[in-house]
Every structure is written in structure tokens, then in C-alpha cells.
Amino acid sequence: MGVPHLDDGAQAGEAAVIRVEDCPAIDVIVPTVDAVSWRHRGLVSLARNTNPAHLGRVVVVGPEPLDCGPAAGLFNGKLKRCETADRLPWKDAVPRGLVETDSPVVLHVQDDCLILPGNPDWLRTMLWPFTVDPTVGVVAATVSNVGNSNQSFKLSLPAPYYLTSSVVPVIFLARCEALKEATAAVTEDGFGDQEFPLALLLAGWKLVIATGVSHHHEGMQTNLRVYGTEYVETMKKRAKEELPKRFPKMWLARLDACEMVPFENHYVPRDGGVEVRLT
């Protein structure tokens, strides 16, 4: 396909833009654990609410036996199970799925998320920043819980938790080289998905949130519905007490300096977007 990739040792600024024609179909990675009912609903929603022409291979990574339920027959033979002997941490599950993909950008969907109906071409909206800026590493969708976006919800939390929350590791498009670089940089303690956004930014890649694309984080909504304000307070406590133990001080200092600004380029789409920056 003539897809541009970074050479070993290259920096984000040396990458080329990705053309729409380079990825008519986008491969998908779905890291999963043991939430079988969530996995079934999530995969069915992906198949039914996404233009099938925009979906490439759908790679589900998880411990065996990997049951994909009714979704197994909905992807025109493009669903692939990557079964592992044990449950892999996020930072290992994602690269395991990545080796099964071919598209220059890949879609990451957490197994407890639902793709909402009404916008089957949503992947094209999320693709546009890659086509105009070669330093864009990840474009994330907003995700709703209890009628509010994760973005507005998380802004009430301390800055370190906000950027390392599930805003990015839930549903996002990533350049393959950016995904490889950032996942390799996170730690081995099982919280790689929460460290990923910062690792991406520190490597020089841009992180854009596609404000015109919103889907549903079922797992987050369930926790909020069951635990309510107690769940919010628990997350605030976690941000204050646990994150300093987990992240190097430099990372926390950079997190405190993050800001969200309009994504600026010569091409501004109808649906807009915001960029997360480290100041």
C-alpha cells in the first residue's frame, strides 16, 4: 500500500501524513479479560454500528477459551481470536494484537464499550487528524456515562488522574508506530493503559480528542450507577494517593502542566477536535 512508517530511531516529527486511501479499512484490537457479556455486547455494537467497509481485521486478545458469542458471525470472516494461556496486562495484550494487523492506523476498543448507532462513518471522522498532521499519534473518541462525557466528568478530578484516566485507553485510533513506542515505555505493574497517554505525549506524539464522536463506556456507567458519588470519591483518592507511587515525579509534574486546546490545522472539520498538550 505504500504506507509511511517510521524507521528505527526516527522521531514523531519525521513521520508522514497518512492518506485516507492508505487505510480504506482499519484493523481493530480488542483487549479483553473475563467480562464475557460485556465483550459480546461490545463486539455486536461494533459490527452493527460501523460501516463494514471501514473495518478490517478485528483482533480479540484474551485468555483462552475466548468466546465471542453472536459477534463471531458478524464481521464477514474478519474476526480473529488471539488466545493467550494467561491474562495479559494491557501493555502486553495490545502489542500481541498489533502483530496481527496490517493497517497504518489501528482502532483500539476496550471490551466494556458500546459503539452507538446513528453515525456509521464515525471512523472517518476520527481519521482526519492523521491526514493533515504527521505528528498525531492518537485520536480518541469521547465516551459517555450517565449522560455526561468522560471529558467533562474527569475534569472534576485532579489533573494527573484526568489525563491517565480511561479517556484514551477506551476507544481510540493510533498510528502503529506511536502505539508501539508508547506501550513499550509504560511500566510492568499492570497499569499500562493509564500511563499510555502520557508516554505518548512524552515521546513527541500529539493526542487529539475527536469531540464529534461519542460512544459509551458501559463498565464506567455500571460503576457510577452502582456506587454513585462513592465511586467518584474513590477515584479522587486514587489520584491523590496511588498515582504518585506509580509514576515518576517528572511524569506527575508534566501531567500537572497539561492543557486542552483546539486542534489547529489548515483543515478544520465540521465536527472539530481538541488537542491535549504538555506545557
**Mean pLDDT for each consecutive 10-residue tract of the chain (279 residues)?**
32 74 91 81 95 96 88 92 88 92 94 90 91 91 55 41 50 94 75 72 86 74 62 64 60 56 50 65
pLDDT of amino acid 161: 43
pLDDT of residue 259: 61
pLDDT at site 99: 95
Q: What is the pLDDT of residue 37?
A: 80
Per-residue pLDDT at 5: 32
Q: How far apart are CA 39 and CA 37, in angstroms?
A: 5
The pLDDT of residue 25: 94
Beta carbons of 12 and 203 less than 8 angstroms apart: yes
As a whole number of angstroms, the distance between CA 122 and CA 141 comes to 9
pTM: 0.80
